[in-house]
């Protein structure tokens, strides 16, 4: 089934997560994505295991990390350090709509494959460059990795217990968000090109994205001129909005307004809390969290988690369990929405997490599996007009795999 981006051709010259995440999303939306990889090394994440899909000793094992961000693509394994390899990429770029790349600033220029050079031949090309710090500025030359950017960009200062070490998030969230912003930029440029006939060079930096996604915490700092404190599993602006222990586990309360708090107070046997000026409004509760939160915690600790969740749901008080990932994938809502998918590659069944976008009720998740290294080389090169003998010659020379 064709998608909204059917007919769009993307060259994905990115590695690791932010760029490949954008490429996978574009593939899910119907674009043809050709992943350009080194013939020997391939994408770095191919080796980022365990765990491996086919086990530790499989001949062509694939890391779960690689499988999370490369669905729906073809792999063209080509050495861009060679003149023949550069010529192949230039030919592909001449007919492409989008280029994704995350080389260091100027890294592609030494191969003659930088966005400016490629757009001279194909002015309609939309080039999206993803770097740690952007195309200019005093840090532009530096490499950037998610963990480092979470630290430099302030996210770690906000994450963790108030008296503990600053913490990173459990997934590379800055990379993922950068991939989403890159995709938004590409889609906007594709829309604009319908009017102008020309492409764009999009500059997306992990540090920029990290700051842009600090949301309320960024404004908390800008409004007050003070650094926000870490609150662990609590919220700096809303109370009660945090994790609590029960007799047999943990749950999360996300009370978003005063009406919900009144219902919670009644459930916990303290309806007077909702009338107390110290707790009646959210602003008051934030100012008096040190008094209120221990009272809530004491009440919840007296009951079992699932019993509390049933009562909270019945009263329209937002709450939920703290699930492990295996529990998440077994959850009836997750199963109903079909978020755990499989794609097939021959006899292999490869697990995937579905794209969350639905169009007219249908998921846009690509059915094409993450490709093996060079799995699409012959098909892509044949479309460029190369004969079987030409491809064999390039393969013998180590230009392609």
- Output the six-digit token pair for 183: 């995709």
User: In the block, which residue shows the tokens 């999370």?
Assistant: 68
Question: pLDDT at position 150, please?
Answer: 98
Question: pLDDT at position 280, please?
Answer: 97
Q: Are strands 32-37 and 9-13 parallel, antiparallel or unpaired?
A: parallel
Residues noted as catalytic: 175
> Which strand ranges, in their side-by-side order, compose the sheet holding 73-77?
73-77, 32-37, 9-13, 98-101, 126-131, 201-205
The predicted-structure confidence for 111-168, as pLDDT tens digits, reads as follows: 999 999 999 999 999 999 999 999 999 999 999 999 999 999 999 999 999 999 999 9
The predicted-structure confidence for 377-399, as pLDDT tens digits, reads as follows: 999 999 999 999 999 999 999 99
Helix (H, G, I), strand (E, B) or coil at 390: helix
Domain ranges of the chain: 9-214+367-397, 241-323
State what percent of residues in the chain have pLDDT above 90.
96
The yes/no answer on whether domain 241-323 falls in CATH 3.30.1540.10 is yes
Whole-angstrom Cα Rg for the chain: 25
Classify residue 182 as exposed, middle or buried by CB count within 10 Å of its CB (0-12, 13-18, 19+): buried
| Distances, alpha carbon 276 to alpha carbons 240, 297, 312, 368, in Å | 15, 18, 22, 59
Question: pLDDT at position 321, please?
Answer: 96
CATH superfamily for domain 9-214+367-397:
Crotonobetainyl-coa:carnitine coa-transferase; domain 1 (3.40.50.10540)
289 and 261 in contact (C-beta within 8 Å)?
no
> Per-residue confidence at 288, pLDDT binned at 50, 70, 90?
very high
Tell me if the pTM is above 0.85: yes
Question: pLDDT at position 255, please?
Answer: 97
Note the helical H segments in 197-304: 206-212, 215-224, 258-267, 282-287, 289-301
Q: Average pLDDT in the 202-227 region?
A: 97
The predicted-structure confidence for 42-89, as pLDDT tens digits, reads as follows: 999 999 999 999 866 556 788 999 999 999 999 999 999 999 999 999
The predicted-structure confidence for 272-285, as pLDDT tens digits, reads as follows: 999 999 999 999 99
> Per-residue confidence at 1, pLDDT binned at 50, 70, 90?
low
> Per-residue confidence at 346, pLDDT binned at 50, 70, 90?
confident
């Amino acid at each position: 089934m064709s998608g909204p981006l059917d007919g769009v051709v993307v060259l994905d010259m990115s590695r690791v997560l932010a760029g490949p995440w954008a490429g996978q999303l574009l593939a899910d939306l119907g674009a043809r994505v050709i992943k350009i990889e080194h013939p020997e090394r391939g994408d770095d994440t191919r080796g980022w295991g365990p765990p491996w899909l086919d086990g530790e000793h499989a001949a062509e094992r694939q890391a779960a990390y690689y499988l999370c961000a490369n669905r729906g693509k073809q792999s063209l394994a080509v050495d861009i350090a060679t003149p023949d390899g550069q010529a192949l990429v230039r030919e592909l770029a001449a007919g492409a709509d989008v280029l994704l790349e995350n080389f260091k600033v100027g890294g592609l220029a030494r191969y003659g494959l930088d966005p400016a050079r490629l757009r001279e031949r194909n002015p309609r090309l939309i080039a999206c460059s993803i770097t740690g710090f952007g195309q200019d500025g005093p840090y532009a030359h530096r490499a950037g990795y998610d963990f480092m950017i979470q630290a430099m960009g302030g996210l770690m200062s906000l994450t963790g217990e108030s008296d503990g070490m600053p913490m990173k998030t459990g997934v590379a969230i800055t990379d993922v968000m950068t991939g989403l912003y890159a995709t938004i930029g590409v889609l906007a440029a594709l829309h604009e090109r319908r009017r102008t006939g020309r492409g764009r060079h999009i500059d997306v930096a992990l540090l920029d994205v990290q700051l842009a996604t600090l949301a309320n915490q960024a404004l908390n700092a800008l409004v007050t001129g003070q650094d926000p404190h870490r609150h662990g599993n609590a919220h700096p602006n809303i109370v009660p909005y945090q994790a609590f222990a029960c007799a047999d586990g943990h749950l999360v309360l996300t009370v978003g307004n005063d009406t919900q708090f009144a219902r919670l107070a009644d459930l916990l046997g303290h309806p007077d809390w909702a009338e107390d000026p110290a707790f009646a409004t959210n602003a008051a509760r934030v100012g008096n969290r040190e008094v209120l939160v221990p009272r809530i915690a004491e009440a919840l600790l007296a009951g079992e988690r699932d019993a509390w969740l049933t009562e909270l749901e019945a009263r329209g008080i937002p709450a939920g369990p703290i699930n492990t990932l295996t529990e998440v994938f077994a959850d009836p809502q997750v199963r109903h929405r079909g978020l755990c998918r499989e794609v097939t590659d021959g006899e292999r069944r490869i697990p995937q997490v579905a794209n969350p976008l639905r169009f007219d009720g249908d998921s846009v998740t690509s059915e094409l599996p993450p490709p093996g290294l060079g799995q699409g080389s012959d098909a892509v090169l044949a479309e460029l007009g190369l004969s079987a003998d030409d491809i064999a010659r390039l393969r013998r020379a180590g230009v392609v795999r």
